[in-house]
Each structure stands twice: as structure tokens, then as C-alpha cells.
Structure 1
Amino acid sequence: MEPISEQLQELMIRCIQAAAQREEVEGEVVVTLVNNERIHELNRDYRGVDRPTDVLSFAMNESGEGEMDIYIDESELADYPNMLGDIIISLPKAQEQAEEYGHSLERELGFLAVHGFLHLLGYDHGTAEEEKEMFSRQEEVLAQIGLTR
């Protein structure tokens, strides 16, 4: 898989920064672009879904069942960045979806970056109401960047 252009990298960064500003949150996010085989493995191993997907989010600030609570002295927290988590995007899936939906790869990568970011913050789209809220937030950010359909 070939690396993406600096312009595409900068675009995804701008999208995530715009979403963070809209959500009034600061923190660090790691975005990794992978192939369909790798995202398929991650989707199967972490979500129990045995197929490739377009984007996965792994939040650092959510505590799940069986996780240990670790005590950190509040005075030391300022020394550490707010790690929001990881966003994994399948570049081949993004290219495929951009063609399928009839828009640019820029639009699709921006959408997936913002979508993954909102998942890191706890947004979901399991119900119609949740989907409406999440997707309207995504569209606001993408419109602000100029990535409309």
C-alpha cells in the first residue's frame, strides 16, 4: 500500500481538529491507514465481525468490563496528554466507497476521520436518534472544511 499525499494527511488532520473544536475537546488521536486484510483482522478480533470495514475506533478513555482502574495523582495529569484513542481507516475501502458514493477520496477520508473521531468521544449510531445526531455533527464539520457531497 502506497503512502497517501501530504495534502490528504493534512486534510484529515484539519477535519479532526474541526471536529475537536466543535465538540470542545482537546487531546491526541492516532490515525492509521491500513489495507482491507488488516482491518478485517482487527474487526474480527476486537468486534467479532468477520469482514473488512471502513473505519474502527479504539477509545482510550472508556473503561470496559474487566479493566482495572489505575490511580493517577490528579496533580500529575497535567504532565500527560489527553489520549483520546486510535482511528484505523482502510484506505482501499475508502477508495471503493468514494467511487460507490460518487464523491472524492478527500470527502470519504474526511468523513471517516470525523466519524471515527466522534466514536472516540462516545457517539454512536445504533438507533435512528443516535444516527441523526452523529451524522448531523459529521456533516457540519465536513461542510465547514468544504467537503460536501
Structure 2
Amino acid sequence: MSIDVLNETDVEVDELELVDCARYVLERMHVHPQADLAITLVDEPAMETLHVRWMDLPGPTDVMSFPMDELRPGTETTPSDPGMLGDVVLCPTVAARQAAEAGHATEEELLLLTTHGILHLLGFDHAEKEEEKEMFELQRQLLLTFLAGRGRGA
């Protein structure tokens, strides 16, 4: 599984932690070991440009996902197809503000956003109430189990 992180900002980010989280989520979602993912960290002007261009919404946002091969989660016995999962784009300064408002570390917010972005790449959405409930519960479970196992080599 190839997970590339490109930090185009001046913000120091634990890139290995992002890779570990992404790998954890992809493995739990039974994504094929030959799938590829890119995570890019951008500043607010770059994120605002993407947000306006692709969502027609003003201002920077925290995370955007750009699927490529439209891979879907696999099962324990049948992984997803191999291919390019897509790109998750994060804005660390927006994440830092959100983390401060929520009362947790920026690193944890970036892990949450990475998980959220990957779920979008796998076809999950939160436009409808039921979709939101399913996606956010799965996101919560994945993040909590990742964080719980982090100190034990998981």
C-alpha cells in the first residue's frame, strides 16, 4: 500500500502519524494492499482556491477528498480492487482552529480529518441524515481504535 504525504505548508506535521492512521483506516476498510493514496497539506489560500473551484463555496475548509478509481471498501475475505484511491487535502491551520474550539490537539484533528477524507474516497457521505450517522459513527470507531492502539505498536 502506497501512502504519500506532501506538506506544502510551513506547519510542522507528524507525517508518519498521518501515514500510520491512513494505513490503519485502509486496512480496517479492507482496501487492497496495492491501492495508492496521497495526502497533501496546503495553506489557507490554496485550500480556498480548491474549495471555491470544486465545491463553489467561499473560504478555506479543513479537508477535501478527490477520488480517482472510485474504490469501495472490501470485506475480510475479498479486499477492494487495487488502484488509485485518490487524494486527501488537509489544511493544518483550519484544523488547528477547529482543534482549539473542540478542546483537543491539532494532531488529533488532523487524524480525524484524514479518516474523514479517506471515508469520502471510499464512497461515504454525510449529505443525508442516515448517511451522516453511518459515516460519523464509523469515523469515530476507526479513530478511537487507532488512538487506543497507537502506543502499543498498532
TM-score calculated relative to the size of structure 1: 0.80
| CA contact 1:15–1:141 (8 Å) conserved in 2 | no
- Cα deviations across residues 24-83 of structure 1 (Å, max 9, x unaligned)? 113111101011111000011111112211000000024xxxxxxxxxxxxxxxxxx611
CA displacement 1:81-107 (0-9 Å, x = unmatched) = 611000110111011111011001121
1:9 alignment counterpart: 15
What is the rounded CA distance, in whole Å, between the counterparts of 2:83 and 2:97 in structure 1? 33
1:56–1:89: 8 Å Cα contact kept in structure 2?
yes
Q: Which runs of 5 or more residues in structure 2 are unaligned?
A: 1-8, 71-81, 149-154
Q: What CA distance in whole angstroms lies between the structure 1 residues aligned with 2:28 and 2:136?
A: 14
The structure that has the greater radius of gyration is 1
Report 1 or 2 for greater relative contact order, CA contacts < 8 Å, sequence distance ≥ 6: 1
Q: 1:90-141: CA deviations, max 9, x gaps?
A: 1110111110110011210000000000000110001111111111111111
1 CA distance for matches of 2:116 and 2:135?
8
- Structure 1, unaligned stretches of length 5 or more? 63-80
Identity %: 38
Q: Which of the pair is proportionally richer in helix?
A: 1
What is the alpha-carbon distance in structure 1 between the residues aligned to residue 95 and residue 69 of structure 2? 27
Question: In the comparison of the two structures, how many residue pairs are matched?
Answer: 127
* One-letter amino acid of the counterpart of residue 10, structure 1: L
* 4+ aligned runs moved over 4 Å, structure 1: none
| Residue 10 of structure 1, CA deviation | 1.3
SS at 2:89's partner residue?
strand
Once the two structures are TM-superposed, the CA of residue 146 in structure 1 deviates from its matched residue by: 1.6
